[in-house]
């Protein structure tokens, strides 16, 4: 139980220990593997050099007249020895032994005197005596395992004997170690340098993180992110180039109305989302500064604070403080109360129609009831039939039907073009298209309703992807865009609506979404004195957007 308790409460290795252990183990394994490969390469090269040198010595001795004469005599008489002469030559080389044999493999020399005159041990000498070819072997003899290099002794074109120059296994290893001792020293030096570098990196990491463990840094970053997003006022952080480096959730919703996620803001210039806000940020010239900005229905006081550490500027933090006076709150309350009254009136109207229908059924006026239902549902059924026939994209179809209901509630005529057609796309693309259409139609319905005194309020929607483009068109009977707003209508916070209705983010959001598809947005005043907004998106760009989004997901 004690062992189990110890295992259960064993603290995990911290980052520093894990870092040092991982780096050292990796370095040691790399050095061992590379060392083994280099050792094997050097060993084979070293042994090959010894063989070549042994063959050269054997070849030179095989041409020595003294050796040739002694071997020739040994082939005709016994007791011939040239040991003193051979040993004198061996003493000036680093070979283990030199053995001269006659054609019967009888030794004429040996490192041990008592073995002279005896038969050479090993069958590898027979190949040289028979073929007259040089050869190098690794075999066991009377002295043990050795590299043995043979050269034939030839006289008058006949093989009369051979010379064997050998290096014992122990001496081969000793020579290798002596010649490559520096390699072992280099291995230890590399390990020492690796350890030193690890501690240098750790010291730098420790200084950079202000003596905090990386685990604690990650924990604090997570806490910072939670606190940052919990603040209900919009906050944006930008660098010295006025590009966004951080943004909280409420600021994301304010700038894009939920149409973009936080990662799509990071690294983007502030001017892309609001030229007015970018001007306020630049106006401070590195100092704390504040200005006023109107976003939608609210006036904001924008406070800019520089970020500095050790006299070095890192950028700015932007705070949005909503300036809502009591009168503004009253306006908001009145607006919602009026909307609630509108809903109640629509509910009352619907209840009245149900009562009429119920009375017809009770009086058994069935034909009148059918005619009443047909008259009331004719427009709705026409819209649904149009959507079923032409719009395969369920998300867009649902949105178009919902906007019909909204238009009907406000008394705005809502028409879908009979030539509509739209295939189904991925969920991500469909959501973007629905957001674009939804904002355009909302603006159109409100513009048409506001201009109802001048002409009957109407909205016409055309959707098509029949060609190589996706085309979205929304036309309304509104008063149009004021000339002074024509060049800025797509900017953040700019709106042509009245003070109680203004938003200033709908067209801005539409423009941002269209940019993601690299499409275009146009508007014009038609011959019928209507306002027409047109969106054009290439299908190839939709496929590109889907592929890029899929790549980022993985």
Residue 539 backbone phi and psi in degrees, to 5: -65, -35
Query: Helix (H, G, I), strand (E, B), or coil: what is residue 128?
Result: helix
Q: Kindly report the CA angle at 457 between 371 and 453, in degrees rounded to 5?
A: 120
> In angstroms, what is the C-alpha Rg of the chain?
47
Residue 541 host element (H or E): helix 539-553
Query: Helix (H, G, I), strand (E, B), or coil: what is residue 399?
Result: helix
pLDDT in tens, 308-359: 766 677 788 888 776 655 445 555 665 566 556 555 655 655 666 677 777 7
Average pLDDT over residues 101-110: 86
Average pLDDT over residues 167-181: 67
Cα 415 from chain centre? 46
pLDDT in tens, 275-289: 777 888 888 777 777
DSSP string, 330-341: HHHHHHHHHHHH
135 within 8 A of 108, measured Cβ to Cβ:
no
pTM (whole model) above 0.75: no
pLDDT (0 to 100) of residue 311: 67
Question: What b/e string do you get for 67-78 counting C-beta neighbours within 10 Å, with b at 16 or more?
Answer: bbebbbebeeee
pLDDT (0 to 100) of residue 460: 92
Give the residues across from 168 on adjacent strands.
146
The DSSP bridge pattern shows strands 458-464 and 413-416 to be: parallel
Give the residues across from 145 on adjacent strands.
140
DSSP string, 193-207: HHHHHHHHHHHHHHH
Q: Kindly report the CA angle at 382 between 381 and 388, in degrees rounded to 5?
A: 85
* Calpha distance 493→200 (Å, rounded): 52
Cα 69 from chain centre? 81
Instruction: Name the nearest CA neighbour of 79 among 38, 107, 54.
Output: 107
* Calpha distance 538→511 (Å, rounded): 15
pLDDT (0 to 100) of residue 272: 78
pLDDT (0 to 100) of residue 350: 64
CA dihedral angle for residue 68, residue 71, residue 73, residue 74, rounded to 10 degrees? 180
Two tokens at 88?
């004198």
pLDDT (0 to 100) of residue 467: 86
Two tokens at 349?
């109207």
**If you ran DSSP here, which 8-state letter would residue 268 be given?**
S
90 within 8 A of 99, measured Cβ to Cβ:
no
Higher pLDDT, 245 or 473: 473
In the predicted model, what is the mean pLDDT of the chain? 77
Checking if the pLDDT of 209 tops 60, the result is yes
| CA dist list (Å): 495 to 65, 295, 332, 500, 522 | 114, 9, 18, 12, 16
Sign, CA torsion 466/468/469/470? positive
Provide the greatest CA pair distance for the chain: 151
Two tokens at 316?
């700015």
Two tokens at 551?
């790549």
pLDDT (0 to 100) of residue 535: 92
Two tokens at 318?
């932007």
* Calpha distance 470→465 (Å, rounded): 4
Give 499's pLDDT tier (boundaries 50, 70, 90). very low
Sheet holding 469-476, edge to edge: 413-416, 458-464, 469-476, 531-538, 520-525
The DSSP bridge pattern shows strands 298-309 and 312-322 to be: antiparallel
């Amino acid at each position: 139980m004690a062992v189990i308790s110890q295992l259960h409460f064993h603290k995990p290795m911290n980052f520093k220990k894990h870092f040092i252990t991982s780096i050292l183990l990796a370095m040691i394994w790399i050095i061992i593997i590379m060392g083994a490969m280099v050792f094997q390469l050097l060993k084979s090269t070293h042994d090959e050099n010894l063989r070549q040198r042994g063959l050269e010595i054997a070849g030179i001795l095989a041409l020595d007249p003294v050796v040739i004469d002694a071997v020739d005599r040994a082939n005709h008489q016994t007791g011939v020895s040239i040991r003193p002469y051979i040993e004198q030559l061996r003493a000036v080389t680093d070979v283990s032994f030199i053995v001269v044999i006659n054609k019967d493999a009888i030794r004429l020399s040996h490192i041990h005197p008592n073995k002279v005159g005896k038969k050479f041990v090993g069958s590898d000498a027979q190949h040289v005596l028979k073929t007259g070819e040089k050869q190098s072997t690794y075999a066991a003899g009377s002295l043990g395992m050795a590299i043995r290099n043979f050269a034939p002794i030839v006289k008058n074109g006949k093989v009369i004997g051979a010379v064997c120059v050998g290096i014992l296994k122990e001496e081969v290893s000793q020579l290798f170690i002596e010649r490559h001792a520096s390699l072992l020293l280099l291995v230890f030096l590399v390990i020492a340098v690796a350890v030193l570098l690890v501690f240098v990196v750790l010291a730098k990491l420790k200084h950079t993180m202000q003596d905090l463990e990386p685990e604690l840094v990650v924990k604090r970053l997570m806490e910072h992110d939670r606190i940052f997003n919990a603040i209900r006022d919009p906050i944006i952080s930008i660098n010295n180039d006025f590009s966004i480096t951080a943004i909280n959730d409420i600021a994301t919703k304010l700038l894009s109305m939920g149409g973009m996620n936080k990662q799509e803001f990071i690294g983007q210039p502030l001017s892309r989302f609001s030229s007015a806000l970018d001007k306020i940020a630049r106006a401070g010239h590195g100092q704390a500064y504040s200005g006023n900005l109107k976003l939608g229905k609210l006036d904001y006081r924008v406070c800019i604070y520089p970020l500095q550490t050790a006299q070095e500027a890192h950028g700015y933090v932007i705070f949005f403080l909503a300036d809502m006076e009591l009168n503004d709150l009253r306006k908001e309350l009145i607006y919602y109360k009026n909307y609630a009254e509108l809903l109640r009136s629509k509910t009352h109207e619907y209840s009245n129609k149900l009562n009429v229908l119920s009375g017809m059924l009770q009086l058994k006026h069935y034909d009148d009831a059918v005619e009443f239902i047909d008259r009331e549902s004719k427009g709705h059924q026409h819209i649904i039939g149009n959507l079923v026939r032409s719009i395969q994209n369920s998300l867009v179809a649902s949105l178009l039907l919902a906007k019909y209901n909204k238009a009907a509630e406000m008394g705005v005529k809502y028409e879908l073009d009979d030539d509509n057609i739209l295939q189904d796309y991925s969920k991500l693309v469909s959501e973007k298209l629905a957001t674009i259409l939804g904002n355009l139609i909302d603006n159109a319905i409100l513009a048409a309703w506001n201009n109802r005194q001048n002409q009957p309020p109407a909205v016409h929607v055309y959707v098509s992807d029949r060609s190589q483009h996706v085309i979205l068109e929304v036309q309304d009977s509104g008063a149009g865009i004021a000339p002074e707003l024509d060049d800025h209508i797509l900017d953040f916070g700019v709106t042509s609506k009245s003070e109680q209705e203004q938003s200033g983010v709908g067209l801005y959001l539409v423009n941002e979404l269209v940019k993601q598809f690299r499409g275009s947005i146009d508007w014009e005043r038609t011959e019928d004195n209507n306002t027409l907004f047109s969106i054009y998106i290439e299908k190839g760009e939709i496929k590109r957007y889907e592929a890029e989004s899929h790549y980022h997901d993985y």
